[in-house]
Amino acid sequence: MTFVQLIECRTSRLDEMNRLMDDWLRRAHGRRTATHAVVGRDRSDASHVVEVVEFPSYEEARRSTGLPEAERIFRELAALCEERPTFTGLDVVRDERPAEGAVRRFFRALGTADELPPLNDLLDEDVHSRDPMNPQDTIGLDNARAEFRMWRGAFDFAFTVEDVLCEGDRACARWSWRGTHRGDFLGIAPTGRQVAMTGMTLFRFGPGGKITELWWQHDQLGLMQQLGALDELER
């Protein structure tokens, strides 16, 4: 279970505190188990500083705080504060990641066996999609839907999302794809072959939470080879 440590203190020496934390990161490099840390300052009280540190589990947090450098850092941190810092340990019982959820819903929608959903709940009207298989970028929701329908008309397929990484207004998905060639694809008549492909897609989200840009990277050469499109060139 993910564990979060909440550290609150009052200080007017935030710059010194940041330098201390940078020193801690250098000394504990490779041994500190935190996965994410955010430091915030209260807008209504500039001396009120809060740090939120995320760990994979409570046990990993104990490992990190048990490092030899941790006790010294705490003493020096406390010396920079106007009063003793407070620590609150939290077991995470709910963790919402809207961007990751949108990415996974998007890939599920593309591979649905029924009619392609409208996608207007996921994609912006002016969505901009870049695919190396296309000579030009695809701009606009209607054009993006037409491109997705082309793939769906050529293959019965499904995506498996292997990983999703999110940062700021961007998310990156690593995926695998398997399909059966049922229809015309770039001039290649249906072969009935089972094909597979791997790739990655980078997403950018707009202020309203919809996908505004996509960058596709995938093994197009491997796909064409599986379809037999390169047989003549290899002879």
| Rounded distance between C-alpha atoms, residue 72 and residue 23, angstroms | 11
Rounded to two decimals, the pTM is: 0.80
Terminal Cα distance for the chain, rounded: 56
Considering the domain delimited by 98-234, tell me its CATH architecture: Roll (3.10)
State pLDDT tens for residues 116-157: 999 999 999 999 999 998 889 999 999 999 999 999 999 999
Residue 1 CA to residue 58 CA, distance in Å, equals 8
When pLDDT is cut at 50, 70 and 90, the band that residue 74 belongs to is: confident
What pLDDT, on a 0 to 100 scale, did the predictor assign at position 232? 54
All CATH 3.10.450.50 domain ranges of the chain, comma separated, are 98-234
Helices marked H in the chain: 14-27, 58-65, 68-79, 98-110, 141-154, 220-226, 231-234
Parts of the chain belonging to CATH 3.30.70.100: 3-91
Report in angstroms the alpha-carbon separations of 161 from 59, 98, 140, 164, 209: 29, 16, 25, 7, 20
- pLDDT at residue 32, rounded to an integer: 84
- Asked if residue 30 has pLDDT above 80, the reply is no
> What top-level class would CATH report for the domain 3-91?
alpha beta
How far is 168 from 179, CA to CA, in rounded Å?
A: 33
Which is nearest to 169 in space by CA: 209, 138, 140? Answer: 209
As a whole number of angstroms, the distance between CA 31 and CA 27 comes to 9
**Reading across the β-sheet that carries 194-205, which strands appear in turn?**
138-139, 123-130, 211-218, 194-205, 170-181, 155-167
